[in-house]
């Protein structure tokens, strides 16, 4: 019975196909015939396949964990702490530690792109050094610095790591006996960070160099004021450290 039915249907399909080759077919698709056959049984209204909900009620969130990068979303604020060492000290003394706090904005260009940008502000501290050279002359290095950090070359390495490279530009303040010297501050750093599955918490290592300002201060005679007579020397100090941060 089934075989016979199949044969009839195939025959019907075949005959329709054959008729389609001849022009002009009166009803090549069978819709007119079907409509006439069904008569009053033809549905009159549209078949409504709609539960009434949509994007207005349920926001569109097509983040795909297999293709997208964490943390989800285009823009995040973040806070990071860094502990580093300045390995080749500008005044040829022992290695100095360095602490800094980095507040930043994390911007992803597209949810499925590994490329992103970090733009932030850094406030750091490092042990101040003063060395008296004799003859009323001393040199002093910075104790604190405030820099803008632009990690422009930044991209994710897979789903749990990211590499970021970019410059810092700002000021550093070198205490001196008569107050403080405000100097230019610059650095170039690379940051390799590993983050949790949701991308919120991250820890990593960073390294690079910073231009440590060494201000030369002179007081020719006792009782005279100090003067910034010889300007400033910038020494590129290698920096290597660890980081921990959180993105909101």
Partner 1 sequence: MRHLHHIAIVVAALASGACHHRPIGHFGDGAFYHSHGHYRIRYGDGPDLLSERWELTNYTTDAAGRPDREIRRDLALDSSRVAGRGRSRPFRVPAADLVYRQRDGSAEIWARTLVLPAAWDGDHASTASVLHGWARVLADGHDEAGPPNANLQGAILANFGEAVIDGLPAHWVELDVVRDDHLERVTLVGVRPGGHRWRWGRRRSVPMLLVFGFSSTPGAHDEVRRDFERFVARVDIRPRG
Among 53, 92, 94, 135, binds partner 1 (CB under 8 A): 53
Tell me which residues in 20-49 interact with partner 1 (CB under 8 A): 20, 23-25, 27-31, 34-35, 38, 42-43, 45-49
Determine the size of the site formed for partner 1 (CB under 8 A).
46
Q: Are the beta carbons of 246 and 200 closer than 8 angstroms?
A: yes
**Which residue's CB is nearer to partner 1, number 4 or number 134?**
4
Only segment of 53-61, 79-87, 200-208, 224-232 that touches partner 1 (CB under 8 A): 53-61
Among 40, 51, 92, 231, binds partner 1 (CB under 8 A): 51
How far apart are the C-alpha atoms of 170 and 185, rounded to whole Å?
A: 5
Contacts of 64 (CB under 8 A, 6+ apart): 112
Count CB atoms within 10 A of the CB of residue 55: 7
The distance of closest approach from Cβ of residue 84 to partner 1 in the complex, given in angstroms and rounded to an integer, is 39
Q: How far is the CB of 161 from partner 1 (least distance, A)?
A: 22
Work out whether 110 is an interface residue with partner 1 (CB under 8 A): no
Q: Choose between 19 and 157: whose C-beta lies nearer to partner 1.
A: 19
Q: How many CA atoms lie within 13 A of 158 on its CB side?
A: 8
Return the DSSP state at 31: H
Q: Please check whether residue 187 is in contact with residue 216, taking contact to mean a CB–CB distance below 8 angstroms.
A: no
Considering beta carbons, is residue 45 or 158 the nearer one to partner 1?
Answer: 45
Rank residues 27 and 197 by Cβ distance to partner 1 and give the closer one. 27
> What's the closest the beta carbon of residue 75 comes to partner 1, in angstroms?
19
With contacts defined by CB under 8 A, name the span among 52-60, 83-91, 157-165, 233-241 that binds partner 1.
52-60
d(CA 54, CA 60): 9
CB 183 within 8 A of CB 171: yes
Nearer to partner 1, 57 or 221 (CB): 57
Tell me if 144 sits within 8 A of 125, measured CB to CB: yes
CA gap 79, 68 in Å, rounded? 23
DSSP per-residue codes, 171-228: EEEEEETTEEEEEEEEEEEEEEEEE-TTSSEEEEEEEEEEEEEEEEEE-SSTTSPPB-
Nearer to partner 1, 109 or 224 (CB): 109
Q: How far is the CB of 19 from partner 1 (least distance, A)?
A: 9
Footprint of partner 1 (CB under 8 A) = 2-3, 5-6, 8-14, 16-17, 20, 23-25, 27-31, 34-35, 38, 42-43, 45-51, 53-55, 58, 60-67
């Amino acid at each position: 019975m089934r075989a016979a039915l199949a044969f009839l249907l195939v025959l019907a399909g075949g005959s329709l196909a054959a008729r389609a080759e001849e022009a002009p077919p009166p009803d090549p698709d069978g819709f007119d015939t079907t409509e006439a056959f069904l008569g009053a049984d033809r549905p009159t209204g549209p078949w409504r396949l709609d539960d009434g909900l949509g994007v207005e009620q349920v926001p569109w969130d097509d983040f795909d964990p297999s293709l997208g990068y964490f943390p989800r979303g285009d823009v995040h604020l973040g806070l990071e702490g860094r502990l580093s060492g300045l390995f080749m000290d500008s005044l040829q003394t022992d290695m100095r530690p360095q602490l800094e706090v980095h507040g930043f904005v994390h911007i992803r260009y597209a949810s499925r792109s590994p490329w992103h940008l970090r733009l932030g502000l850094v406030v750091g501290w490092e042990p101040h050094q003063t060395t008296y050279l004799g003859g009323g002359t001393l040199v002093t290095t910075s104790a604190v610095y405030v820099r803008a950090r632009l990690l422009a070359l930044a991209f994710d390495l897979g789903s749990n790591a990211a590499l970021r490279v970019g410059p810092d530009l700002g000021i550093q303040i070198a205490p001196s006996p008569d107050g403080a010297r405000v100097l230019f501050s610059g650095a170039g750093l690379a940051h390799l960070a590993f983050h949790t599955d949701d991308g919120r918490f991250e820890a990593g290592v960073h390294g690079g160099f910073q231009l440590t300002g060494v201000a030369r201060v002179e007081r020719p005679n006792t009782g005279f004021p100090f003067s910034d007579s010889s300007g400033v020397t910038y020494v590129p100090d290698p920096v290597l450290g660890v980081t921990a941060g959180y993105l909101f």
